[in-house]
Structure formats: structure tokens, C-alpha cells
Amino acid sequence: MKLKGKSAIVTGAGAGMGKAIAMLFAAEGAKVAASDIDQQALDAVVAEIQSAGGTATGVLADVANEADVRHLVDTTVKLYGSVDVLVNNAGIMDNFIPAGEVSNEQWERVLGINLNGPFYASRAALQVMLKQGKGVIVNNASIGGLFGARGGASYVVSKHGLIGLTKNIAATYGPKGIRANAIAPGGVNTNIGATITAPHPLGLEAIGRSGQGPMGEPDQIARVALFLASDDSSFVNGATVTADGGWTAH
């Protein structure tokens, strides 16, 4: 078991990659604080983990709301006595809306969930991890955080920002025993695809004719998250691991 006895927060754990990560971590011995905005989905994930013999608690939290996130971290410490692993996974897409057309509301919503959320959670968890003298942060970014045309303006900016946050935390807190790494998934079969409801408003030209790469499954990303959360990656810090089935290789 790679995470025996460790406590792990997973945001966006109600579906998709977050659910797969919560389930795999619990199977690997972690005590999981599974968090989401969807209570029903959370209840189902927690029940599934517990019926498989794992340990999990559901904590309702909107990552864009700082008070919710603080409550999530505090609750985890109260329940499990530590925050050994934080997985900032919750995120939304932006329907490929380009910079010239995105409204303030759309921009702030995407940045609020995809970037402010991981920042709030990391800041709160870092206070706990510093006292522990150890901890691991895994940020679920995207290949949209590495290239310009795998999302709209707000999504691409939020994920580039998340990779920047990852590197800054790694560089600053590495000497204090805390590691932070990011995953850059390509296309993964989750509910997020259903939120892309329109063709690109400026046509395919605007997204660089990148087309659609191969699709992966949530568990394939959970395996990468497990590597980054466990001691198997003890010398990996500040890295972004691309898991896209080769989409960005060509």
C-alpha cells in the first residue's frame, strides 16, 4: 500500500478523475477527505470507498469559496490529525471562449474555481504541512496549461497559472519537506466533455488545428496522481507530468 495511514484531501471527488483518485488513494490505504459541491455524488463515492473497506469522509466545499476551503482543511485535520496529501483536482472548462469575447463573469468563474481554489487550498494546507515538516500537493492542471490552444482564454490562463503556482510552491517549500507537482492530462472521458456545448466561436483555425487527441480514462490519471502523492516520487518536485496518450507529441 503506497499511502498507508496518510490523510489525503481530494477536491472535485464526486466524479471523473477526482473520484478515481479518491478511490485509488483509499485502496492504497489513505484516509480520504473527499470534497465536492455535489452532496449526492459525494455520498455515493464515500459509500463506494467504505464498502470496499476504505476510509473516507465527504466534505461539501466550493473551492472558489475561501471559507469553504478553510473548513475543508480544518475538518481534515480534526478527523485525521494531519494533511499529508492535497489533490487540487476540481475544475471546469470554458467552452473555448476566446479572449476577445469572454465576459468578466465567465473569466472570474473559471479563474475562481481553477486557480483561486487551488491557491486557497494550498495556502491553508501549507500551514498544516509546515508544522508537520512534510506534505505533498498534486495539482490537476491540463495540457491547456502548457499550450495556448487546448481551451479558451480563461481555461488556458487558469491552467498556466496553476502550473506556475505548483513551481513556486515546489521551489519555496521543497527545502521544508513539502513537494508540489502538477499533472497535465490530455483528453479524458469524464463529464467535463458535456460542458463543451458549442463549436469554437472563431472556428478551428483559432485553436491551432490541434484537433482531438486520444482519449484516456480517469483511472489512468489517478495512477499518475498516486505516483506523485507517494514516496515513489520523493525526488520529483515542481514537475508537470503530461499524461495525454501522446497528443502533444505531435
- Please name the residues in contact with 212: beta carbons below 8 A apart, sequence gap of 6 or more: 187
Residues that bind ligand NAD (CB under 6 A): 11-12, 14-18, 36-38, 41, 62-64, 89-92, 113, 140, 142, 185, 187-188, 190-192
**Which of the following is catalytic: 80, 120, 155, 173?**
155
Q: Which is nearer to ligand NAD, 212 or 234 (CB)?
A: 212
CA 152 to chain CA centroid, nearest Å: 19
CB of 134 vs ligand NAD, minimal distance in Å: 25
Query: Following DSSP, what letter does each residue of 72-129 receive, concatenated?
Result: HHHHHHHHHS---EEEE------TT--TTT--HHHHHHHHIIIIIHHHHHHHHHHHHH
CB of 159 vs ligand NAD, minimal distance in Å: 7
Q: Which is nearer to ligand NAD, 30 or 37 (CB)?
A: 37
- Nearest-angstrom CA–CA distance, 136 and 234: 10
Q: Which is nearer to ligand NAD, 190 or 233 (CB)?
A: 190
Q: Which is nearer to ligand NAD, 174 or 214 (CB)?
A: 214
**155 is an active site residue:** yes
| Sign of the torsion formed by the C-alpha atoms of 211, 195, 94 and 223 | negative
CB of 29 vs ligand NAD, minimal distance in Å: 23
CB of 52 vs ligand NAD, minimal distance in Å: 19
- 8 A C-beta contact, residue 149 and residue 100: no
| Sign of the torsion formed by the C-alpha atoms of 12, 10, 149 and 188 | negative
Residues that are catalytic: 155
